[in-house]
Structure 1
Amino acid sequence: MKMLQPAGWPRPKGYSNGVSASGRMIFVAGQIGWDETESFPAKDFAGQFGQALKNIVAVLAEDGAGPEHIVRLTWFVTDKQAYLKDARRVGEIYREILGRNWPAMSVVEVSALMEDEALVEIEATAVVP
Protein backbone atom coordinates (compact mmCIF):
# COMPACT_ATOMS: atom_id res chain seq x y z
CA MET A 1 0.00 0.00 0.00
CA LYS A 2 1.34 3.43 -0.92
CA MET A 3 0.05 6.72 0.51
CA LEU A 4 -0.38 9.44 -2.12
CA GLN A 5 0.77 12.89 -0.97
CA PRO A 6 1.07 15.56 -3.70
CA ALA A 7 4.13 17.79 -3.32
CA GLY A 8 3.37 21.05 -1.56
CA TRP A 9 0.05 19.88 -0.08
CA PRO A 10 -0.31 19.99 3.69
CA ARG A 11 -0.24 16.58 5.36
CA PRO A 12 -3.75 15.50 6.34
CA LYS A 13 -4.38 14.67 9.98
CA GLY A 14 -5.84 11.21 10.58
CA TYR A 15 -6.34 10.18 6.94
CA SER A 16 -4.58 10.06 3.56
CA ASN A 17 -5.34 12.08 0.45
CA GLY A 18 -5.10 8.90 -1.56
CA VAL A 19 -3.94 5.30 -1.36
CA SER A 20 -2.57 3.05 -4.08
CA ALA A 21 -2.84 -0.71 -3.54
CA SER A 22 -3.06 -3.93 -5.49
CA GLY A 23 -4.43 -7.30 -4.42
CA ARG A 24 -7.68 -8.95 -3.37
CA MET A 25 -10.37 -6.39 -2.62
CA ILE A 26 -12.88 -6.63 0.24
CA PHE A 27 -15.90 -4.33 0.42
CA VAL A 28 -17.55 -3.97 3.82
CA ALA A 29 -21.14 -2.72 3.91
CA GLY A 30 -22.01 0.19 6.16
CA GLN A 31 -21.58 -0.85 9.78
CA ILE A 32 -23.39 0.86 12.63
CA GLY A 33 -22.95 0.87 16.40
CA TRP A 34 -24.94 -2.24 17.18
CA ASP A 35 -23.51 -5.56 18.29
CA GLU A 36 -24.14 -9.09 17.03
CA THR A 37 -27.55 -9.12 18.75
CA GLU A 38 -28.57 -5.93 16.89
CA SER A 39 -28.69 -3.92 20.12
CA PHE A 40 -26.79 -0.71 20.77
CA PRO A 41 -24.43 -1.11 23.75
CA ALA A 42 -23.63 2.64 23.58
CA LYS A 43 -25.96 5.57 23.13
CA ASP A 44 -23.20 8.19 22.57
CA PHE A 45 -21.37 8.97 19.33
CA ALA A 46 -17.92 7.76 20.44
CA GLY A 47 -19.29 4.47 21.76
CA GLN A 48 -21.25 3.75 18.60
CA PHE A 49 -18.23 4.74 16.49
CA GLY A 50 -16.08 2.20 18.33
CA GLN A 51 -18.64 -0.56 17.89
CA ALA A 52 -18.94 0.21 14.16
CA LEU A 53 -15.15 -0.13 13.81
CA LYS A 54 -15.18 -3.42 15.75
CA ASN A 55 -17.87 -4.65 13.36
CA ILE A 56 -15.70 -3.73 10.36
CA VAL A 57 -12.73 -5.60 11.84
CA ALA A 58 -14.94 -8.66 12.44
CA VAL A 59 -16.15 -8.68 8.82
CA LEU A 60 -12.59 -8.30 7.50
CA ALA A 61 -11.40 -11.18 9.70
CA GLU A 62 -13.88 -13.47 7.92
CA ASP A 63 -11.59 -13.28 4.87
CA GLY A 64 -8.24 -13.19 6.65
CA ALA A 65 -7.85 -9.41 6.55
CA GLY A 66 -7.25 -6.85 9.26
CA PRO A 67 -7.29 -3.10 9.87
CA GLU A 68 -3.91 -2.73 8.15
CA HIS A 69 -5.59 -3.67 4.85
CA ILE A 70 -8.20 -0.87 4.93
CA VAL A 71 -7.61 1.61 2.11
CA ARG A 72 -10.86 3.62 2.29
CA LEU A 73 -13.46 4.54 4.91
CA THR A 74 -16.65 6.51 4.36
CA TRP A 75 -18.43 7.75 7.48
CA PHE A 76 -22.02 8.91 7.61
CA VAL A 77 -22.79 10.88 10.78
CA THR A 78 -26.18 12.21 11.88
CA ASP A 79 -24.74 15.06 13.97
CA LYS A 80 -21.55 16.83 12.92
CA GLN A 81 -21.38 18.65 16.26
CA ALA A 82 -21.54 15.39 18.24
CA TYR A 83 -18.62 14.11 16.16
CA LEU A 84 -16.61 17.30 16.68
CA LYS A 85 -17.39 17.35 20.42
CA ASP A 86 -16.07 13.78 20.76
CA ALA A 87 -13.21 14.15 18.23
CA ARG A 88 -10.41 13.49 20.73
CA ARG A 89 -12.10 10.34 22.07
CA VAL A 90 -12.96 9.25 18.52
CA GLY A 91 -9.25 9.50 17.62
CA GLU A 92 -8.27 7.42 20.65
CA ILE A 93 -10.86 4.76 19.82
CA TYR A 94 -9.77 4.74 16.17
CA ARG A 95 -6.14 4.07 17.15
CA GLU A 96 -7.15 1.41 19.71
CA ILE A 97 -9.13 -0.56 17.11
CA LEU A 98 -7.50 0.25 13.74
CA GLY A 99 -4.00 1.23 14.83
CA ARG A 100 -2.03 3.85 12.96
CA ASN A 101 -3.45 3.04 9.55
CA TRP A 102 -4.58 6.18 7.70
CA PRO A 103 -6.74 5.24 4.68
CA ALA A 104 -8.43 7.67 2.35
CA MET A 105 -11.54 8.91 4.18
CA SER A 106 -14.67 10.96 3.77
CA VAL A 107 -17.02 12.05 6.55
CA VAL A 108 -20.52 13.14 5.53
CA GLU A 109 -23.32 14.51 7.69
CA VAL A 110 -26.70 12.96 6.86
CA SER A 111 -30.18 13.71 8.16
CA ALA A 112 -30.81 10.14 9.35
CA LEU A 113 -29.72 6.52 9.07
CA MET A 114 -31.96 3.51 8.52
CA GLU A 115 -31.76 2.42 12.16
CA ASP A 116 -33.27 5.17 14.33
CA GLU A 117 -30.77 4.72 17.19
CA ALA A 118 -27.73 4.80 14.89
CA LEU A 119 -25.54 7.92 15.09
CA VAL A 120 -22.83 6.77 12.66
CA GLU A 121 -22.45 4.31 9.79
CA ILE A 122 -19.08 3.44 8.26
CA GLU A 123 -18.26 1.66 4.99
CA ALA A 124 -14.81 0.17 4.38
CA THR A 125 -12.76 -1.02 1.45
CA ALA A 126 -9.72 -3.20 2.08
CA VAL A 127 -7.03 -4.56 -0.23
CA VAL A 128 -5.08 -7.66 0.80
CA PRO A 129 -1.77 -8.03 -1.08
Structure 2
Amino acid sequence: MTDQRTLTNPPALHDPAPFGYSHAASAPGELVFIAGQYASDTAGAPVPGDFADQVALSLTRLRQALEGVGLGYEHVVRLGSYVVDHDLAKLEVLGKALHEAFGERLPAQTLSGVASLALPGMLFEIDAVAVRPADPDGAGGRDGGAGR
Protein backbone atom coordinates (compact mmCIF):
# COMPACT_ATOMS: atom_id res chain seq x y z
CA MET A 1 0.00 0.00 0.00
CA THR A 2 1.27 3.49 -0.81
CA ASP A 3 2.14 5.88 1.99
CA GLN A 4 -0.27 8.77 1.33
CA ARG A 5 0.75 10.85 4.35
CA THR A 6 2.13 14.33 3.96
CA LEU A 7 4.60 14.96 6.78
CA THR A 8 5.72 18.54 7.33
CA ASN A 9 8.51 20.04 9.40
CA PRO A 10 8.44 23.81 8.82
CA PRO A 11 11.92 25.37 8.69
CA ALA A 12 10.90 27.89 11.37
CA LEU A 13 10.60 25.01 13.88
CA HIS A 14 13.29 22.74 15.31
CA ASP A 15 14.12 19.39 13.69
CA PRO A 16 11.92 16.89 15.57
CA ALA A 17 13.30 13.74 13.88
CA PRO A 18 15.86 12.94 16.61
CA PHE A 19 12.95 12.86 19.07
CA GLY A 20 10.89 10.48 16.90
CA TYR A 21 8.17 12.64 15.35
CA SER A 22 7.14 15.19 12.71
CA HIS A 23 5.48 18.53 13.48
CA ALA A 24 2.47 17.97 11.21
CA ALA A 25 0.87 15.10 9.33
CA SER A 26 -2.11 14.85 7.03
CA ALA A 27 -3.63 12.36 4.60
CA PRO A 28 -6.79 11.95 2.54
CA GLY A 29 -9.34 9.38 3.74
CA GLU A 30 -11.19 8.11 6.81
CA LEU A 31 -9.79 8.65 10.32
CA VAL A 32 -9.23 5.54 12.45
CA PHE A 33 -8.56 5.94 16.18
CA ILE A 34 -6.46 3.31 17.94
CA ALA A 35 -6.87 3.13 21.72
CA GLY A 36 -3.89 3.17 24.05
CA GLN A 37 -1.73 0.09 23.60
CA TYR A 38 0.66 -1.11 26.28
CA ALA A 39 2.89 -4.08 27.06
CA SER A 40 0.12 -6.59 27.72
CA ASP A 41 -0.42 -10.30 27.57
CA THR A 42 -3.39 -11.79 25.68
CA ALA A 43 -5.63 -11.29 28.74
CA GLY A 44 -4.72 -7.59 29.02
CA ALA A 45 -2.46 -7.92 32.06
CA PRO A 46 0.68 -5.75 31.97
CA VAL A 47 3.83 -7.68 31.07
CA PRO A 48 6.66 -6.85 33.44
CA GLY A 49 9.83 -5.48 31.95
CA ASP A 50 12.02 -2.44 31.81
CA PHE A 51 11.00 0.67 29.89
CA ALA A 52 12.63 -0.39 26.60
CA ASP A 53 10.94 -3.81 26.73
CA GLN A 54 7.56 -2.21 27.41
CA VAL A 55 7.99 0.29 24.56
CA ALA A 56 8.87 -2.52 22.13
CA LEU A 57 5.87 -4.65 23.12
CA SER A 58 3.55 -1.62 23.11
CA LEU A 59 4.59 -0.86 19.53
CA THR A 60 3.96 -4.49 18.62
CA ARG A 61 0.47 -4.20 20.13
CA LEU A 62 -0.07 -0.94 18.19
CA ARG A 63 0.95 -2.68 14.95
CA GLN A 64 -1.41 -5.57 15.73
CA ALA A 65 -4.30 -3.16 16.40
CA LEU A 66 -3.61 -1.40 13.11
CA GLU A 67 -3.42 -4.72 11.23
CA GLY A 68 -6.74 -5.67 12.81
CA VAL A 69 -8.40 -2.89 10.82
CA GLY A 70 -6.36 -3.49 7.66
CA LEU A 71 -3.82 -0.71 8.26
CA GLY A 72 -0.12 -0.39 9.11
CA TYR A 73 2.36 2.07 10.53
CA GLU A 74 2.39 3.87 7.16
CA HIS A 75 -1.19 5.00 7.81
CA VAL A 76 -0.50 6.62 11.19
CA VAL A 77 -0.58 10.42 11.22
CA ARG A 78 -0.55 11.05 14.99
CA LEU A 79 0.73 9.32 18.11
CA GLY A 80 0.07 10.04 21.76
CA SER A 81 2.75 8.64 24.07
CA TYR A 82 2.45 8.42 27.84
CA VAL A 83 5.61 7.83 29.88
CA VAL A 84 5.70 7.18 33.62
CA ASP A 85 8.42 9.28 35.30
CA HIS A 86 9.62 10.68 31.97
CA ASP A 87 13.28 11.68 31.64
CA LEU A 88 15.76 12.23 28.81
CA ALA A 89 17.02 8.62 28.90
CA LYS A 90 13.47 7.39 28.26
CA LEU A 91 13.06 9.94 25.46
CA GLU A 92 16.15 8.51 23.79
CA VAL A 93 14.81 4.93 24.10
CA LEU A 94 11.43 5.97 22.70
CA GLY A 95 12.95 7.95 19.82
CA LYS A 96 15.06 4.97 18.78
CA ALA A 97 12.08 2.58 18.95
CA LEU A 98 9.90 4.94 16.89
CA HIS A 99 12.61 5.22 14.22
CA GLU A 100 12.80 1.41 14.11
CA ALA A 101 9.02 1.18 13.68
CA PHE A 102 8.37 4.13 11.37
CA GLY A 103 11.72 4.68 9.65
CA GLU A 104 12.20 8.26 8.55
CA ARG A 105 8.44 8.80 7.95
CA LEU A 106 7.62 9.81 11.54
CA PRO A 107 4.03 10.83 12.39
CA ALA A 108 3.14 13.84 14.52
CA GLN A 109 3.36 13.01 18.22
CA THR A 110 2.63 14.40 21.64
CA LEU A 111 4.50 12.88 24.57
CA SER A 112 3.06 13.26 28.06
CA GLY A 113 5.01 12.51 31.20
CA VAL A 114 2.64 11.01 33.76
CA ALA A 115 2.82 9.87 37.40
CA SER A 116 1.08 6.57 36.62
CA LEU A 117 -1.02 4.76 34.05
CA ALA A 118 -4.19 2.64 34.25
CA LEU A 119 -2.69 -0.52 35.74
CA PRO A 120 0.17 -1.11 38.19
CA GLY A 121 3.40 -1.95 36.40
CA MET A 122 2.61 -0.02 33.21
CA LEU A 123 5.52 2.27 32.28
CA PHE A 124 4.41 3.25 28.76
CA GLU A 125 1.27 3.53 26.64
CA ILE A 126 0.75 4.73 23.07
CA ASP A 127 -2.36 5.60 21.07
CA ALA A 128 -2.69 6.55 17.42
CA VAL A 129 -4.76 8.23 14.78
CA ALA A 130 -4.46 6.59 11.38
CA VAL A 131 -6.02 7.40 8.01
CA ARG A 132 -7.64 4.73 5.90
CA PRO A 133 -7.02 5.73 2.26
CA ALA A 134 -10.10 6.62 0.28
CA ASP A 135 -11.40 3.52 -1.54
CA PRO A 136 -12.22 4.54 -5.14
CA ASP A 137 -14.31 1.38 -5.66
CA GLY A 138 -16.32 1.74 -2.45
CA ALA A 139 -15.47 -1.90 -1.74
CA GLY A 140 -14.79 -1.22 1.92
CA GLY A 141 -12.30 -3.45 3.63
CA ARG A 142 -13.45 -1.90 6.88
CA ASP A 143 -14.64 -4.96 8.79
CA GLY A 144 -11.36 -5.41 10.71
CA GLY A 145 -12.88 -8.25 12.69
CA ALA A 146 -15.86 -8.47 14.98
CA GLY A 147 -16.27 -6.08 17.86
CA ARG A 148 -16.36 -7.32 21.41
Q: TM-score range by the shorter chain?
A: 0.7 to 0.9
TM-score normalized with structure 2 length: 0.76
Q: 1:54, 1:97 within 8 Å by CA — same for their partners in 2? A: no
| CA shift for structure 1 position 85 | 2.2
Residue 106 (1) aligns with residue 110 (2):
yes
| CA shift for structure 1 position 88 | 4.4
| CA shift for structure 1 position 66 | 0.3
Question: Which residue does the alignment assign to 1:54?
Answer: 60
Q: 1:35, 1:55 within 8 Å by CA — same for their partners in 2? A: no
Return 5+ residue gaps in structure 1 as ranges: none
Share of identical aligned residues, percent?
34
| CA shift for structure 1 position 89 | 4.2
Aligned residue pairs total: 127
Q: 1:50, 1:97 within 8 Å by CA — same for their partners in 2? A: no
User: Residues 79-118 of structure 1 correspond to what in structure 2 (within 5 A)?
Assistant: 79-81=85-87, 84-118=88-122
Return 5+ residue gaps in structure 2 as ranges: 134-148
The one of 8, 15, 29 aligned to 1:11: 15
RMSD in angstroms over aligned alpha carbons?
1.8
Distance 1:92 1:7, change over 3 A: closer
Q: Which structure has the larger Rg?
A: 2
TM-score normalized with structure 1 length: 0.86
Question: Which residue does the alignment assign to 1:77?
Answer: 83
